[in-house]
Amino acid sequence: MAKTPDQTIYVLNGPNLNLLGTREPETYGYATLADVEKLCTEAAVQFGLIAHCRQSNHEGVLVDLIHEARTRQAVGIIINAGAYSHTSIALHDALMAVKIPTVEVHISNIYTRESFRHHSFTAKAAFASLCGFGIEGYRLAIAGLAAKIGAKTIGDKAQA
């Protein structure tokens, strides 16, 4: 049976996140992007959701994916825009335009790092922002998004 669009969330990862596991492991840990995607898929399933995971090093591609989320009637977006969080008005504007509940995630605590990382354009377009939890931040973001949109855990649905 095909899943309906109202069950889909987009998990978008920006530049250099394809290098997780090897890029600055002292900051980002040893988990890979495949580990992140597996975590997100498993976390989403607990709420009856489907995680559509995508990564791009290109700002315009990320904007297109945000637009695609709207076209495909996704119920939420989890975004780790990486360095674009701190520079991209285009990502901010795309998130504002599509009006899809969004959670921003950062693996590291951006507020303990360089001062240029302390400002986030994407956070201003999200209803919540998480940083510093490592890849577990994605699981927390999905749980928070699920609560925001009223998705219940599979066990809760069976009892309802």
- Positions marked catalytic: 28, 106
Cα distances (Å, whole numbers) of residue 42 to 30, 83, 101: 19, 26, 20
103 in Cβ contact with 136 (< 8 Å): no
Q: For the chain, what percentages of helix, strand and coil (3-state, to nearest 5) are there? A: 50, 15, 35
Q: Provide the edge-to-edge strand list for the sheet that holds 8-13.
A: 50-55, 8-13, 76-80, 102-106, 128-131
For 84, which DSSP code?
Answer: G
**Residue 48 near residue 154 (C-beta atoms within 8 A):** yes
Query: d(Cα 143, Cα 147) in Å, to the nearest integer?
Result: 6
Question: Can you tell me whether residue 64 is helix, strand or coil?
Answer: helix
